Structure 1
Amino acid sequence: MSTFDSAPAARPAARFTLPAVSVELIALAATLLLVFGSNRGFLARFLEGRDVTSLYDVGFIAATVTVLAGLHLLILLVLANRWTVKPLLTLLIAISPVPAYYMAHYGTVFDTAMMRAVVHTDHKEAGELLTPGLFMALAAYAGLPIVVMWLTPVCKAPIGTALRRRLLWIAATLAVILVAGLPFSKDIFATSRNHKETHHMLVPVSVLVATGKALADDGRDATVAKTAIGRDATAATPAAEGRRPRLLVFVVGETARAANWGLNGYARQTTPELAAMPDVVNFPAVGSCGTATEVSLPCMFSPYGRRAYDEDAIRSHESVLNVLDHAGIDVLWRDNQSGCKGVCDGLAAEQMPGEGDPAICRDGRCLDEIMLQGLGARIDAVPGDMIVLLHQLGNHGPAYFERYRNADRVFTPTCDTGDLGSCPVEAVVNSYDNALRYTDHFLAETIAFLKARTDRDTAMLYVSDHGESLGEYGLFLHGMPYAIAPDVQKTVPMVMWVSDAFATTSGLDRACLAEHAQQPTSHDALFHTLLGLMAVKTSLYDRAYDLAASCRPAATG
């Protein structure tokens, strides 16, 4: 026997394993992670203004945190067992850092309207929101905890023992909630009533509820036909009136705020090309229907508007575009964003390609001038009156730096990333203002296109769907609930241009229009203004809301 044969057998390497933990302790650990990791935005807003040197306020803060943690734990104790605890917590822990990150960095509130926008976003928009900061938050608050949880064994116990233990945990949790919360219950409920926006900041509860409502609304809309409106609409043909066909281009702007609009007296000239056109009429004070495209777009084309806002009615009824169609006017929707949000259902619509002219297209996106390409041929195919809707990419954030040409990079330094939190506010505003200069250029190009159409009586109307926050009150982007949204998200730019021929045949006094444009107005006027400009007669028309009605003879609409 050799020396090697007599050597003792090697022992297997020791395997490291984490100690087994009960379902209740895993739920408690997850609760602490959700409360202190993903609900910091909620706590900051809910506890805002509390004085940490006041004994009562310190007690209120402790009670609020305890009640919040207790309610989270209570839900998990009811839903989780040895087989479901890890899949359930994996889902909750994985999704929670995402809304928490956007709340912390942009002030985003995840209500039903916001979740509907998230559900309907396209991959291009979603890609712009995937920033390094988000991935770091996911790694820290989701990746590592989930890995540790799956490596941790779950204690096994007889059903009777496990049930008794669970009931004791539930009873103890309820007792802690009551003991901590009852002394401050009136103040907690009053704070909740006074700060209703915090209801949308609870993570992940508010996100899950809002997502469920958004999906339910989509399911209902997909199965229920829209109620027709304006079936009595009529319009005289150009031949009958002895005039050329009328062409109205309505540019539906995106995320432009009135505060930064050069024509409104902004310190910077963000609208140099429009400012050089004396026949452009500017409306300096226009209120939007909503603070997000998902809300504003259906609202601004509906007969309800903000003054009689009813989301269910707006979503279940046809828009003014359908009324124009009923009157025999051709309607074409051209989209350079994420769709018409139901406004153009049943009508001619085109989604612009993400590639083509290298001068305006890059990385799967084209600037808004793509919507003018090929438009002449589409108009040539229509013998009568026509309205064309051009839905802009505009100033859609957060990647403002991708919304303009190099020629528009006037204000520097710029924020050349979608992670706005990594840039100084000044750089964010510079990029935003540069993007507004491109919208100014696009509108000037649209007007030039219409001026060249000598076969038509032409006009253009532009208005943005909503505004944008650029760091005011710590907020960025848009989508705040309307009742608490800052004015910069609700006040938008609007301009109108009317050709000589259009003004003549419609009897429109442009000097009068320019004077009346100085009065405050809102998206509520768009439904009736479009009907008036296209001389459509219908019982739905209200002359009092037509922006141009007082500047043309009553007989013309």
Structure 2
Amino acid sequence: MNNKPKNHQSFIYLLGIILIITAPGSFFRLLNDDLLTFIVNTSAAICLFLLPIVLFRNRLKWYAWLLLPVILVSIFNIASIYHYQMPINDGLLTVAINTNQEEFTELASGYWFSFLIITFLYVLTYLFLLNRVPKQLSLKQSATVSATALLIILLLPFFDEASYGYFRKLRARYYSVFPTSVIYAASNVYAQYQIMDETKSERDQFSFKAVQYNNQPQIYVLVIGESDRRDHWSLYGYHRNTTPKMSRKKNLIPFNNIHTTGYLTEFAVPIILTGIDPTNFMQHTKQKSIISLFKEAGFETYWISNQTDYGHISIHAAESNNRYFFSLDENRKTKNANDDSELLPPLKKVLAEPGNKKFIIVKLQGSHYDYAKRYPKQYDVFKPSNKTVPTSANDYINKQIIINTYDNTVLYTDTILDEMINLIDQQNKISTVFYISDHGEDLFDDERRLSQHAAEIPSKYIAPIPFTIWYSNHYKQLGENQIQQLNLNKEKKASSQHLLFTIAELAGIKFPLFDSTKSLSSKAFIENPRYIIGGNLKTFNSDSLQ
């Protein structure tokens, strides 16, 4: 007697493979979307895999084998959902491309065992199901399956309330459904890199036509922080004394209503450097940055970084006359030490070099995860912390330990900024030090339990960032009117997009593209709607974030 299951029964095993592929994304949607959206997206994902069945009806097991790479990508999708509370998107792919070996190790620490267990179980389940998938399916059965899948797919746009057309609705649905969402995200990232390559000639020919008529010795320093939240600075009213030195600093102006323009460093920093509107982000690839603005005005320019600056950032970092990447050795691997104090010796060296006019950008590790590796033991003030109590990055139960550790990074950044300002002050020259963070950080602030900054729709905790301007006594004598105007504007709504114009005006640099309505040191400054880049380069009003 033949006990082998019939084809229509054993076809269930192929459906089982499809379900384990789509399950992680469906589970995420179940937790984060309304019931209808969950049903529609799950149906879209399953039907996508059922559609080709009629074509593979005589080689059904081959088709099951072809799904193995998708199974493997699905495992990484599980890791993304678990670690970042977000399926794989273009932002996470960008982070992956720009992550070096040490950063990857930091992010993956504590997850290796669980990741290997999930991989083992997924592959084992896949092989179990694969072994039971029939070799073929009848034309009638396969045509019924494919036709039903096609019909459901064609009906999907009718469940979308958006105002745009039928085919755009259909495309949009699959942009958000695994695995086509990964293909869409990868194509977006690839297109961005293609544009960066294609616009190199236009970028090289760009000129601000900038001039400065002041030949006195001057030093302007822009310090870019990492994942630094304004509401975790005691300078801005935080209940912990996280910024004791900056709070006491003379000649310091803190701005109380500044938002970032990008949820990831890769997007936020180019806007800081170029002043481009976030709604037209890729325009930054066609022009130069504040570095070239100062070069044209006669300044020697320096880029000092404790991060690996690839992609969108690298094309502007390359504009500087001198570059120091202290997170890299000759083999382009990150050192084990990630202490921002490493940036102080090169800064001293730069200040000691001959030259009357210097523009220096310093890029910190700041509060980038892994927080416990961002500061030495003597700054382990808020306890218990991850210095002594290890947790995973998304350990909601032990969130206070993670928040304690994060606050210690802010405390250490306070010291680094204080020492940098002291170094500049000792030069006894016309000088200013600007500090701004690239973006904020999620710290399990509400029921969404978000951590770090990967959510493709940024939370309201990502947008507000610290921005301060320190000025020397020599600058005070020169720019008393500008300082007065900065104080008048420090409560106004502004964003990191305004930095280039503000710094340029304070430095007395003139150029045709200067817009006084975007300068915080100008009487003409105008408050406008603020936008932030999220996943897939979509922009959101940062004042309306939840």
Bigger Rg, which one: 1
Query: 1:218 maps to which residue?
Result: 193
Mapping of residues 3-402 of structure 1, within 5 Å:
27-47=14-34, 50=35, 65-74=42-51, 85=63, 88-108=66-86, 110-133=88-111, 135-140=113-118, 142-147=119-124, 149-150=126-127, 152-153=130-131, 162=136, 165=138, 168-175=141-148, 178=151, 186=158, 188-190=159-161, 202-225=177-200, 226-227=202-203, 228-238=205-215, 243=216, 245-306=217-278, 309-339=279-309, 340-347=313-320, 348-353=322-327, 364-397=336-369, 399-402=370-373
Q: Which amino acid aligns with 2:212?
A: A
Q: Tell me, in whole angstroms, the C-alpha distance in 1 between the residues paired with 2:126 and 2:111.
A: 24
Task: Decide whether the 8 Å contact of 1:32 with 1:69 is kept in 2.
Answer: yes
Tell me: CA distance 1:345–1:442, structure 2 relative to 1, closer, same or farther (3 Å): same
Q: Tell me, in whole angstroms, the C-alpha distance in 2 between the residues paired with 1:542 and 1:232.
A: 14
Task: Decide whether the 8 Å contact of 2:391 with 2:398 is kept in 1.
Answer: no
Q: Which amino acid aligns with 1:28?
A: L
Q: Tell me, in whole angstroms, the C-alpha distance in 2 between the residues paired with 1:21 and 1:418.
A: 48
Secondary structure of the residue aligned to 1:466 is coil
1:139 to partner: Cα distance: 2.7
Tell me: CA distance 1:153–1:110, structure 2 relative to 1, closer, same or farther (3 Å): closer
Task: Decide whether the 8 Å contact of 1:297 with 1:343 is kept in 2.
Answer: no
Query: 1:407 maps to which residue?
Result: 378
Task: Decide whether the 8 Å contact of 2:307 with 2:363 is kept in 1.
Answer: yes
Tell me: CA distance 1:166–1:341, structure 2 relative to 1, closer, same or farther (3 Å): farther
Tell me: CA distance 1:63–1:518, structure 2 relative to 1, closer, same or farther (3 Å): closer
Q: Tell me, in whole angstroms, the C-alpha distance in 1 between the residues paired with 2:353 and 2:394.
A: 48
Mapping of residues 377-456 of structure 1, within 5 Å:
377-397=349-369, 399-416=370-387, 417=390, 419-422=392-395, 424-454=398-428, 456=429
Task: Decide whether the 8 Å contact of 1:229 with 1:318 is kept in 2.
Answer: yes
Structure 2: state its 5+ residue gaps: 525-546
Secondary structure of the residue aligned to 1:390 is strand
RMSD, matched Cα: 3.5
Q: Tell me, in whole angstroms, the C-alpha distance in 2 between the residues paired with 1:376 and 1:119.
A: 32
Q: Tell me, in whole angstroms, the C-alpha distance in 2 between the residues paired with 1:512 and 1:490.
A: 24
Query: 1:7 maps to which residue?
Result: none
Q: Tell me, in whole angstroms, the C-alpha distance in 1 between the residues paired with 2:140 and 2:500.
A: 59
Q: Tell me, in whole angstroms, the C-alpha distance in 2 between the residues paired with 1:236 and 1:289.
A: 32
Query: 1:10 maps to which residue?
Result: none
Q: Which amino acid aligns with 2:178?
A: V
Identical aligned pairs, as a percentage? 19
Report which stretch shifted further, 512-521 or 312-321.
512-521
Please report the TM-score for the alignment, with normalisation by the length of structure 2. 0.81
Please report the TM-score for the alignment, with normalisation by the length of structure 1. 0.80
Task: Decide whether the 8 Å contact of 2:52 with 2:146 is kept in 1.
Answer: no
Secondary structure of the residue aligned to 2:223 is strand
Q: Tell me, in whole angstroms, the C-alpha distance in 2 between the residues paired with 1:24 and 1:220.
A: 45
Query: 2:434 maps to which residue?
Result: 461
Secondary structure of the residue aligned to 1:32 is helix
Query: 1:54 maps to which residue?
Result: none
